[in-house]
Amino acid sequence: EAIGSLLHDQLERPEYLDEGRLLRKLLQKLTGIDSFNELLEKQFSNDLISIQLGEDLDDLAVDALSDIITRVLDAYPGGGVPWKILDVIEALRLSMQATITDVANDLLRHMDDDGVIVSLMMDIFAAPESASDRKRHMSQIDGAAEAALQRPGRILPFFGVHPERPGHLEELKNAVENKGFVGVKLDLSLGDSVDSEEMRLVYEYSIEEDLPVLLHCGHGGSYRSEDQVQLCDPAQWTRRTCSRSAQTSSMSRPSSRIV
């Protein structure tokens, strides 16, 4: 509930939030929930220092904010709640970084020197496309390209193809030939079928350039309509494209494991 409310606020009025501001806003939302406040009182009732939550949140350090949230969530019945919430917090913190290169830098700090990030672009296109949506689309391409070109071999971006976007094949070719993209990413539940003419042209180019083609499969995640969820079923590929020589992997949602 608290996270949903926080996300709704950010959709209405987006802000750049560092970790401290994110945790403060989340804690403010959580303290509006009676069950959280009851556990908060129990968890800190024996502390020598009384913590008053309100306008004083700005004075609390990041570690203190994280400790408050973690200790209260640890007390929730059923188990597993704290880790789910903290995973969401971490995902929010990363997604609210100012640029894609900032996100890449943050991830690389937690990885071994030989670790590699596969960056999966997503194109959620719907006509007519506004100028701001077009700008965000191009910023995603340019940001992934900048991250990859700054860190050769560490960032491997896959270009998100939406077959309804005008010029999608030309954009793919430019990304691969000039911007360091190394593969193709598909979200078929948002667009066309596996064996449409538009997709066949994408496959032909992928074969020509020896590009891996990766798609999400499963019944969760984003989709345009209920019937289009079936477009991500691996059976679509078994029946229609198994004879093609394009390298094809499926990515199970939401675990992000290549299988």
- pLDDT tens-digit readout, 174-213: 999 999 999 999 877 666 667 788 888 999 999 999 999 9
Other beta carbons less than 10 A from residue 216's beta carbon = 23
Highest-confidence segment of 55-64, 70-79, 102-111, 237-246: 102-111
Q: Residue written as tokens 């997604």? A: 95
| Contact of 221 with 254, CB cutoff 8 Å | yes
Give pLDDT, residue 56: 55
171 plus 120 within the same structural domain? yes
- Give the global pTM: 0.66
- The residue from 95, 114, 134 where one domain ends is 95
20 plus 67 within the same structural domain? yes
156 plus 215 within the same structural domain? yes
Identify the residue with better confidence: 69 or 178.
Answer: 178
91 plus 210 within the same structural domain? no
- The residue from 79, 95, 111 where one domain ends is 95
CATH code where residue 238 lies: 3.20.20.140
- CA-nearest of 165, 119, 162 to 144 is 119
pLDDT exceeds cutoff 80 at 157: yes
170 plus 218 within the same structural domain? yes
Amino acid type, 8 = H
Q: Residue written as tokens 């960032």? A: 155
For residue 159, with 0-12 CB atoms within 10 Å meaning exposed, 13-18 middle and 19 or more buried, which class applies?
Answer: buried
- The residue from 95, 120, 155 where one domain ends is 95
d(CA 156, CA 39): 44
115 plus 154 within the same structural domain? yes
27 plus 121 within the same structural domain? no
Containing structural domain, residue 190: 100-258
- CA-nearest of 103, 177, 110 to 143 is 103
Q: Residue written as tokens 């999608």? A: 168
